[in-house]
Structure 1
Amino acid sequence: MNKKVFIVLLLVVFMLAQFSMASAAAVSGDASITSIPAFLPLKQNLDVEWAVSGMPAAGTKYLLMWGREYPSATYDVADCKQVEMLTGLTDASGAFAYDFIGTNIVFSMSDGDVFEFTLTVDTDTCAGAPVLPAGNSVMGTVTIDNQTPAVWGGNPPSLSAANVMDHTVACNTFEYWAVASDRYGLGADETYSGLVSWGETINGTFAPTPPIGKAQDTLSWVYTFPSTASGQWTFYIHPKDGANNSGLIPKIYRLTLPIEPQELEDCATFSDVSGHADEVYIRYLATLGLINGFADGTFGPDATLTRAEAATLFEISNGYDTTSLPASAPAGCEFTDVAASDWFAGWVWQACADGFMNGVGGGLFDPNNLLTRGQVVTIMNNVANTTPSGGYLNTNSIVNNLWNHFIIKPILTASFTDVAVGAYYAEPVIQAYGWGVADATSDTTFSPDQPVTRGEFAKMLYRALSRVG
């Protein structure tokens, strides 16, 4: 080809390109994203609702959507999508699925990333030469949340070796419970959508749905079998988060298991527990023979516990009774304030020998002092790091199966202002709260030095002994 002709052709192409670029122009109008999901699973289309008003009626306009990963300073035409061709309209609205495939964005998408989106109205298409939106133009954002909620839960305590899906209950009123989090194992600065549903499924009457927290919470589902209940009964949960993520396998508590006669019998009760927040735990454990009330028929759910009483209750759960307790203090468990004639002596000595409870220093056990919330969870932590002799502590329970920070991290997390790093109860509090065994007293406090009530203790023990599968 003649060199002169070639140069002329180059000039023509350049001029046409310049004309094409110059022909693109922003169109006046008020474009806006009216609805955009806050969270999105990885590499799925983004469903966006849009509206535009005040455009000139004449001519053909193109509504364009732009995306970029935060904190990019500019938009890229490679990430532009044509939403609509508008002819003869001053106002319009609709919905659009922004397809990430074919954009630069799809290659950089990863869990926790934030993406920004905006709209422009132009005389040209994305394939042409549209006017890039300003760098500070952001009409909506979305965060990639590909994190499936983590969940663990507990069946009512039982000595049965049956699989939890074939596990019957001891009496007609019981609690199935679970803890779940959408940010399990993630950094504090990573934002995720949080639970929106427990995905409960049951083949019978269901209690009101419990509240769901933004990022993590506890399901407490109390059920009472009516005396007329019969046939098979199933309950399971399948938690889902705000980005519509859910695990592949639901958490099954009971699967097509026929109701047995003992499950319709009323649980043991006391004259002062009806309607109490801890009633279900008190009555269920009393039915199992793990706790007792007083001679006058009361339980005293709001009364306090002593350290000697706690030693007794933990060793009953460990399968001991008065006939199997030591008659004298084992080596290393001689306390000057525990005499062989004391009713609690054998229980204290056994709790010490098992490594569940220690003295308070100076050769003292302090048996009559009140048990605190920090001490309760510390005892449970000791149980989790020893080998229980038997009973309910030696089952496939929360305290004996999950409560071991060297294997699995707790599901729930919190920063308590009253739990100092290095305190003897610091790690036990993390475990107890994290597995749903012990409640916080507020969003920021655990109150570890507060005496535990008998009702609170019953709830903690019920949860700690709950079966997992």
Structure 2
Amino acid sequence: MSKKIFTLLLLAVFMLAQFSIASAVAVAGDASITALPDFSSGANVDLDWAATGMAAGTKNILVWGRLNAAVPVAYDWNDCQLIATIIGTSDASGTFTYDYTTTVNLAALSSGDIVEFTLSVDDQTCATADVPAIDSVMGSNYVDDDGMDGDYFNPPSLNIADFDSTPVSCNTFEMWAVVSDKTTVPAGDAYSGFDSWNPSTTGTFAPAPIGADAALFSWVFTFPSTASGAWILGFNPTDAAGNEWSLSTFRDGAAPVNVVGADELEDCADFSDTAGHAYEVYIRYLADLGLISGFADGTFGPDNNLTRAEASTLFEIANGYDTTTLPTSAPAGCDFTDVSASDWFAGWVWQACADGFMNGVGGGLFDPNNLLTRGQVVTIFNNIYEMGGGTGDYLDFANGNALSQDWTDWENPYLREAAWTDVSVGAYYAIPVLRAYGIGVAEGTSATTFSPDQAATRGEFAKMLYRAISQQ
């Protein structure tokens, strides 16, 4: 072989090698993930991206995903997706929806999985592009593929034939609901948390704005005097990963049952000292139902403390009793030395004791004139649950109230949880406090305190009773 021919062959080999090396190396450019949600559903996730300093010509921005593992596995082109094709510019940015369902290794994610992402800039598409280094991770995302659980409640009523269509008692009321994103999540798995109630209304008048932004939805509404026609409230809660709770609606029956009625436009019972009070809506609505009453001077005393005798009366009125049906002497086990037949509260105390709702304080005493604490109130509600409900009216579990199935349905974990600093594990009211707060019947006095030994006010009791006998 001549020297000239050998030289030409070497030159050709060199040029082919150079071309091969150049085509296998990703083109110049730096791409990064600028925003990535902490959680996503098992379907997809939106990520924000940016690329700078890209070489001239045509470039592809590629996103690569893989499951997080104790020992990282290599990225797979089957899990690569094309974000954008860039022509003739050095900088670009945007938002891309990475679709898990179209990948090979990420198509069947489950809650608790962690997906890792990285980006690359290449003149090739996914199938022939350079695979990123195994240690390249620009961001990660937890998968929360579980929906939420919870329940919603209508104002108290004895009409349960078709409760979602039952009229309200008077023109001002509360409809409420409570949900949780963690009731179906296995222990140790991450979950995204509540996001929005997504409320909607249908009516022949402009409804009041709904601004619930927490896991307990409370919507207080007053029908205007001009209200007419169908009225429906609906909401479709979502968690932060985009999972939905099933659509829930109030008064969703067909006309005429969802049409605003004349009785619903009547003002609720009123008192001279409740206007603008935090518990006004509960006090007035329950008074309209005849479950609570005020004083002879026209006041209700929402900030007055509640006595044990008064509480026995209010519980048994909700249970369907009146002065003509109460016992006239102490039933077995309820003969308290500080309760005489001549006392106005005697029959109420005896009935509450006989039903197992309220017990004595020891030493043969009921202590009727002592104040009832917040811990005692929720304990009485818990006693009613443990007894299987009352014998009639609003405490009868056949009415499907919040005290029935829901009181413990979500107990482990509860729909709402709080780290109370003043509720010890061994206290008699510990479980009742957790249950009452968990389902939404009771609130704390702060983010960390329940104040179980604090005397309950008449207004506080009205709210707890309203919520406890609200209908599913």
Q: TM-score range by the shorter chain?
A: 0.7 to 0.9
Flag structure 2 segments of 5+ consecutive residues without an equivalent: 1-15
- Give distance in 2, aligned partners of 1:31 and 1:202: 45
Q: Deviations over 1:395-451 (max 9, x none)?
A: 321113422459997422223222222321111112111111101222222111111
Which residue is equivalent to 2:45? 46
Aligned-pair distance for 1:459?
0.3
Flag structure 1 segments of 5+ consecutive residues without an equivalent: 1-15
Which residue is equivalent to 1:245? 243
Aligned-pair identity (%):
57
Q: Is the 8 A contact 1:154 1:176 kept in 2?
A: yes
Q: Is the 8 A contact 2:378 2:429 kept in 1?
A: yes
Farther-moved stretch of structure 1 (359-368 vs 140-149): 140-149
Change (3 A) 1:86 1:405: closer
Q: Deviations over 1:373-413 (max 9, x none)?
A: 11101100111122411121113211134224599974222
Q: Secondary structure at the match of 1:66?
A: strand
Which residue is equivalent to 1:6? none
Change (3 A) 1:163 1:400: same
Q: Does 1:178 align with 2:167?
A: no
Which residue is equivalent to 2:212? 211
Q: Is the 8 A contact 2:421 2:448 kept in 1?
A: yes
Q: Is the 8 A contact 2:66 2:106 kept in 1?
A: no
Which residue is equivalent to 1:330? 331
Calculate the TM-score normalised by the size of structure 1: 0.87
Farther-moved stretch of structure 1 (427-436 vs 86-95): 86-95
Query: What does 1:180-199 align with in structure 2 at a 5 Å threshold?
Result: 180-186=179-185, 189-199=188-198
- Give distance in 1, aligned partners of 2:428 and 2:109: 43
Farther-moved stretch of structure 1 (124-133 vs 342-351): 124-133
Q: Does 1:227 align with 2:228?
A: no
Give the partner amino acid of 1:202. T
Change (3 A) 1:102 1:406: closer
Q: Does 1:24 align with 2:31?
A: no
Q: Is the 8 A contact 1:237 1:252 kept in 2?
A: no
Q: Is the 8 A contact 2:40 2:241 kept in 1?
A: yes
Change (3 A) 1:253 1:188: farther
Q: Aligned residues, how many?
A: 447
- Give distance in 2, aligned partners of 1:290 and 1:316: 6
Farther-moved stretch of structure 1 (357-366 vs 247-256): 247-256
Farther-moved stretch of structure 1 (283-292 vs 236-245): 236-245
Query: What does 1:352-371 align with in structure 2 at a 5 Å threshold?
Result: 352-371=353-372
- Give distance in 2, aligned partners of 1:242 and 1:264: 38
- Give distance in 1, aligned partners of 2:117 and 2:230: 51
Q: Secondary structure at the match of 2:341?
A: coil
Q: Is the 8 A contact 1:67 1:75 kept in 2?
A: no
Q: Is the 8 A contact 2:146 2:184 kept in 1?
A: no
Change (3 A) 1:248 1:279: closer
- Give distance in 2, aligned partners of 1:118 and 1:178: 41
- Give distance in 1, aligned partners of 2:284 and 2:365: 34
- Give distance in 1, aligned partners of 2:19 and 2:430: 71
Which residue is equivalent to 2:286? 285
Of 426, 437, 441, the match for 1:433: 437
Change (3 A) 1:435 1:21: farther
Farther-moved stretch of structure 1 (341-350 vs 203-212): 203-212
Of 51, 66, 74, the match for 1:68: 66
Farther-moved stretch of structure 1 (225-234 vs 345-354): 225-234
Change (3 A) 1:437 1:69: same
Query: What does 1:402-413 align with in structure 2 at a 5 Å threshold?
Result: 402-405=406-409, 410-413=414-417
Aligned-pair distance for 1:108?
5.7
Give the partner amino acid of 1:29. G
Q: Secondary structure at the match of 1:375?
A: helix
Aligned-pair distance for 1:462?
0.4
- Give distance in 1, aligned partners of 2:412 and 2:294: 36
Q: Deviations over 1:266-309 (max 9, x none)?
A: 11111110001100000001111111111111111111101111
Give the partner amino acid of 1:183. K
Q: Does 1:449 align with 2:453?
A: yes
Which residue is equivalent to 1:375? 376
Change (3 A) 1:189 1:330: same
- Give distance in 2, aligned partners of 1:24 and 1:445: 64
Which residue is equivalent to 1:36? 36
Q: Secondary structure at the match of 2:48?
A: strand
